[in-house]
Structure 1
Amino acid sequence: MSVYILYHANCPDGFGAAWSAWKKFGANAHYLPVKHGHALPEIPDHSEVYILDFAYDRKTLEALAQRCQLKVLDHHKTALADLKGLPFAEFDMHRSGAVMAWQYFHPEQEVPLLLQYVQDQDIWTWALPDAKAICTALGVYPMDFEVWSQLEIETLRQEGHTTLRYKEQLISNLMQRVDWVRIQGHRVPAVNTPLFASELGNSLCLKYPEAAFAVAYADQNGLRKFSLRSIGEFDVSTVCRAYGGGGHRNASGFALPLDKVKEHVLSGD
């Protein structure tokens, strides 16, 4: 039986989940990064399939489960609402995808400290020592299984302090480029950048507490991708779900074709 590992692309938590699977299966599995808005990759019937830190819609997953052995491990609020009750789907809002995957594939082993830091960033707790520096340094390294296997926390800590100062300066510069937009009636600050969506969004929310949320956006492959961030009780996943996106209460995203943007995102001036 072929083994397929599908994981959230371009995301340290998603890659950490894939790395957890790789530490079990090694070269005896196919590893496929996947993105929202893209079709399910071709997977042969009777395969063993794990979908990590990610989920397709209910109909797609039910069809896949009819022909493959399927397990979904995710922690995104919008996926939980859509997939509630499916026996092959496991959700935990208090753990990141990487930690869920490690504990699933290696139940007798302690979660590696590297993945604890990945989780600390992904669920935005920042409880571990020097977490921002370590996670910033981790982001400089390629998402490669062998590379991650060689990383040491103390090295990341030392590298991260210098890298973090530079990152914070870039974020400060980006915050000078704010435009105001209206999304579903909410007038919110927005910055055109593909970088640092979470950190920038959090800083914008602190600077403009009157706004329900903040937005970072960038154009890619004919789409404008929006990353929404909030602080407190405002649930940005409800905004994103209206456009086919989703995520967490305080961190979600969606994408629109470029020719549809002006229908849904208005100037906030």
Structure 2
Amino acid sequence: MSHKQIAIFYHADCLDGFGGAYAAWKKFGDTAEYYPSKYGHDPLIEAVVGKEVYFIDFCYSQAVMDKILGQAGSLTVLDHHEGIKEVVKSIPHHVYDSNRSGATIAWSYFHPDTEVPRLLQHMEDEDLYRFHLPDTRPLGVYLSAHEFSFPFWNQVAQDLDSEEKRTVLLAKAHTYLEYFNYLVRLSVEHAHPILFEGHHVLLANTSPMKTLKSAVGNELLKKKPPFALVMSIHPNGLGVSIRGDGSIDVSAIARKYGGNGHPSSSGFHIPWQTPMPFTSDEEHKNENPSD
């Protein structure tokens, strides 16, 4: 177990979550220990005992967070997910803002006198699915295709602040986007109709890349509302992302299976050897989702 006295827990496999961790890294550097975290994978309590603990863009269940609160030297939660709002607000030291992303909340918390970097502005634009800023989608794809590394992200942040280097970086990112769009089309074409929670919806399979899962889910959603499922294989089971049109709170569905998220974007985990919570929709199996 690490002897470092600062522990940073952040949303794993997520651009926004790692962006929040990057904000912490810019303050603490290697004096802190960084823990990518997922729902369904409770932390080792030994990692928090007596330490200065931060949760960024992620929060465990109320029971787990209460236990951590009782063991940690201090606990601060920085989050924006509506599905866990009450848990976040139950922690004395917290920042909750559903209008911002985890990355920008973390930056403003750790660097209150410094403008949010262009890189993290793009991560918020991506995570909240606004896409108001030019080049957010290709930049997100480019970052998703690389290892989540603080030095690499730091270099990208610096390149974005240089007009000359930004042009080169974004040209490369757009090349990545072309192949990404092909992968989205491929997943959508092979989607299968299922019956889940009383709804006839589409299910597709992708890699665990969150950016890809979101894009595929939203394309499926256009074809068959009110929500769509995108599944990927993980070492401990299947990761399922839900993307909705807003008419149904999909975070409530995710919580039923141990997950969480936003009303229109959530996820949960199915451990190996657990029965699938959905069935093939025989009535609609001959429909072509690519039509």
Q: TM-score, normalised by structure 2?
A: 0.87
Deviation for aligned residue 1:100: 0.6
Matched, 1:62 2:43: no
Counterpart AA for 1:88: H
Length-normalised TM-score, structure 1: 0.93
Secondary structure of residue in 2 paired with 1:14: helix
| Residue 136 of structure 2: aligned partner | 131
Letter in 2 for 1:57: S
Structure 1 residues 230 and 44: alpha-carbon distance in aligned structure 2, compared to 1, 3 A threshold: closer
1:1-269 equivalences in 2 (<5 Å): 2-41=5-44, 42-68=46-72, 69-151=74-156, 152-153=159-160, 154=166, 155-194=168-207, 195=209, 196-208=212-224, 211-262=225-276, 264-269=277-282
Deviation of 1:86 (Å): 2.8
Question: How many angstroms apart in 1 are the aligned matches of 2:186 and 2:49?
Answer: 50
Shift, 1:138, TM fit: 2.1
Q: Is the 8 A contact 1:133 1:161 kept in 2?
A: yes
For structure 2, which runs of at least 5 residues remain unmatched after alignment? Answer: 161-165, 283-291
Q: Does structure 2 conserve the Cα–Cα contact (< 8 Å) formed by 1:49 and 1:70?
A: yes
How far does residue 235 in structure 1 lie from its aligned partner after superposition? Answer: 1.6
**Aligned-partner residue type, residue 268 of structure 1:** D
Q: Which 4+ stretches in 1 moved above 6 angstroms? A: none
Q: Which amino acid aligns with 2:257?
A: Y
SS in 1 for 2:245: coil
Does the CA contact (< 8 Å) of 1:137 and 1:160 recur in 2? yes
Contact in 1 for aligned 2:88/2:96 (Cα 8 Å): no
The letter for the 1-side match of 2:98 is M
Contact 1:133–1:156 (8 Å) recurs in 2:
no
Kept in 2: contact 1:137–1:156 (CA 8 A):
no
Distance 1:92 1:221, change over 3 A: same
* Cα-Cα RMSD: 1.6
Runs (5+) with no aligned partner, structure 1 = none
- With over 3 angstroms needed to count, the CA separation of the structure-2 counterparts of 1:189 and 1:27, relative to structure 1, is same
Equivalents in 1 of 2:269, 2:181: separation in Å? 27
CA distance in 1, matches of 2:236, 2:30: 35
Counterpart residue type for residue 113 of structure 2? E
Structure 2 residue matching 1:233: 3-state secondary structure: coil
- 8 Å CA contact 1:51, 1:73 repeated in 2: yes
Distance of 2:226 and 2:245 partners within structure 1: 8
- TM-aligned CA deviation for residue 55 of structure 1: 0.4
3-state DSSP class of the match of 1:18? helix
- Quick one: distance in 1 between partners of 2:206 and 2:145? 18
